[in-house]
Structure 1
């Protein structure tokens, strides 16, 4: 059975810059390569061109021929728009003929709409971002805001999840968003295992209210790695910044500064995110009571666990568990 159909659009017939080969490969790899040992349900992928099936003039002498044109969007559960070429960002340079109409039709038919990097310009041109929060590559967010003042543009996040429309920043942020979609569709365990196979963090924080801020990148600070690994193995016990600093042989102030520099978050937020991630995994993979999940994740009582789930994730632990098992049984 399928987890849903995903149509990935090469957004212009004039060709793709070299960095867009990378961005195009992200949804193809995440959604197009089945992982039967992780989930019986995976995605049906189709790659569509906004032109006549070819995207000529690509980098390194590459010409991209896709199996579908814009008709491939029909019936898709998710539509992913990759970056538009730089020429399309210039005033007066239109997008590929028919692209905006095809995007509107797909959205009206109930498809979940996703943009990577400057693909947000295509969604905005179609009017799908009006009154919504969105993001794009930081080099283009000011331009996006100026051209589409009806869109609330946030240049501080990796991606924005606005329910049926999601937008990401550039390059690797597209991978963050695609893994987030797998997490939404198939659960944290599947997304975490897939991320591990791709040798990337399962989720990086973005500082936005609309999506779940559960974990942070692995530290590039070799001096912090042992103490962070130790903390992850002892989340069920009370942990303080002072204790972690002592184990790292640092002062609390130095530990705070080093962790913030390496992960982009504070020690207390890092601990909370790790505990929420542990709670998610326990809810998905065990039948333990909510009380026991709270205890083992270090979040304490069932009431405290519910408080953090509702605040950070938007659902109760019970609803999260039910939705995950419903997805597995579908």
Structure 2
């Protein structure tokens, strides 16, 4: 390996690490707020990329019908809860179950966007509400369940969404045109414009997330819920709405990741699962609690995958997932053990 090849591998690792970093941030966010290890995070990636590809082919993405069905089901559940005397936040229910689905229908069925930017925006509107709707239907009724029970539900939900992805999009993969066709030469290294778009968008999203959690009232409420759910509830923070927001942000991040990688690689209905797992490895490096550590873990995973593909391409996935073993071993030595959940 010479310096030129090393720089090329480092560039690929940086681009891949940026995407894994977004996945890791979403996983840490959802787990810290709701205690859900959200296995289907990668499905948002596949749904976003393939929905964009279908719109560019002149077809209405089936993601719209999934959104409408989930919205109707969530609205029925809220009405049933209200009839039984439970307190229902109708403002948020109308937002996720009526307003966003109506906007998605207007964009996908009436406007039928033709430009790349308009199609990307429509894709985000289609995919983002899926997060809070899935939370309301699958996880909010089990808010007091153990982490293991929530994990089992998450795995089951992953199986359902993968099956729906196969039904909606078929077994054939798709790619989308790049957001930038430019090419640059830096020190003899060819850098594509799409790679710079991936890194730039990731940087902007990370900065916006840190600003959101550090300066906005909603972000501070999410941080309070993550630190102490009971204490946040006693202080008047609606923790159920915090779950809605965290899942909405996770779905948005997943959809953006799908839009970013679709021009770089062929995306299949199950592609997101592997991407989500690598993001999970990065999140484990951060202890499922630290956003900066999760980002560093994502860069480590990206570089390890890139250089492993050169030295031992047949075992690159094994080497990446093996990284989780020493990390868990090291954390088990540094942490105290309890008999039950704290």
TM over 0.5, yes or no? no
| Bigger RCO of structures 1 and 2 (CA < 8 A, at least 6 apart) | 2
- Going by fraction, where is helix more abundant, 1 or 2? 2
Question: Normalising by structure 1, what TM-score?
Answer: 0.29
- Structure showing the higher strand proportion among its residues: 1
